[in-house]
Structure 1
Amino acid sequence: MMRSLILLSLGLLCAANPSPPQVVVYTYKPMEKGETNTLLCHAKEFNPPNIELQLYADGNPFSDANQTDLSFESNWKFKLTTFIELIPREDVEYSCHVTHMGRTNIYKLESF
């Protein structure tokens, strides 16, 4: 009961001040040919907290990507990161599709 009340209160607070996410797609370390790396999609400063992040390679979604727990900052805006370990290839376009408040935007990883 108490958890439901907290979630309801949080939802009402979020609905009062919606803001779109700031998104960046990047790799954990500089890309080197043939080297394992981590591809990340980080969204921050968004409200309400309902959001979906999906990583893609050449338009095909990764089904085995991981995701952090949703968290928030002191300003009640949220952040979330999706990531996957891979060996990046120069001939592949990596992107992150972000759906928030019924709108989907595509963010691309800068190439090698």
Structure 2
Amino acid sequence: MWFRLAVVALVFLSASCSAKQSDPKVQVYSRNPGEYGKANVLICYVSGFHPPDIVIKLLKNGVEIPGSTQTDLAFEQGWQFHLTKYVDFLPQPGETYTCEVSHMKNTPKSFTWEPDM
């Protein structure tokens, strides 16, 4: 039994080592069309990255929004990973909502939510 586990671990290790580094693709959107003063969900979908060393933050006017939820790390073909982070929010005029992504401890990049208004 331990031999099978060792073989599976070696296969996983060799596959993940052969995968090359890929920068994340980021999409920021809301569950419903953006409407000021109406409760909504801010969603940041990050995909196509490797290795899985990543930090995702949802920000309102540059400050992290408390109470956000992040899905479990999942992988796609070619050992690229994807995650989704989301939080309830109440968009107001003049406020800026962004998703900040830092991959491999690189300088964070910000992606702004654009309301459908």
- TM-score, normalized by length of structure 1? 0.85
Gaps of 5+ in 2: none
Tell me, yes or no, if structure 1 residue 25 matches structure 2 residue 22.
Answer: no
Alignment CA distance shift 1:14-1:88 (3 Å): farther
Secondary structure, counterpart of 2:16 in structure 1: helix
1:91 CA displacement? 1.4
Q: 1:45 corresponds to which residue?
A: 48
Q: 2:104 corresponds to which residue?
A: 101
Identical aligned residues as a percent? 33
1:55 CA displacement? 0.3
Alignment CA distance shift 1:15-1:84 (3 Å): farther
Residues paired across the two proteins, number: 109
Alignment CA distance shift 1:65-1:15 (3 Å): farther
1:15 CA displacement? 6.6
Residue in structure 2 matching 1:89, options 88, 92, 95: 92
Structure with bigger gyration radius: 2
The answer to whether the 8 Å contact 1:14/1:47 transfers is no
Structure 1: distance between partners of 2:18 and 2:33: 38
Secondary structure, counterpart of 1:75 in structure 2: helix
Residues 15-39 of structure 1: per-residue CA shift (max 9 Å, x gap)? 7400000001110110122211100
- Cα RMSD of the aligned pairs, angstroms, is 2.2
Partner amino acid for 2:85?
T
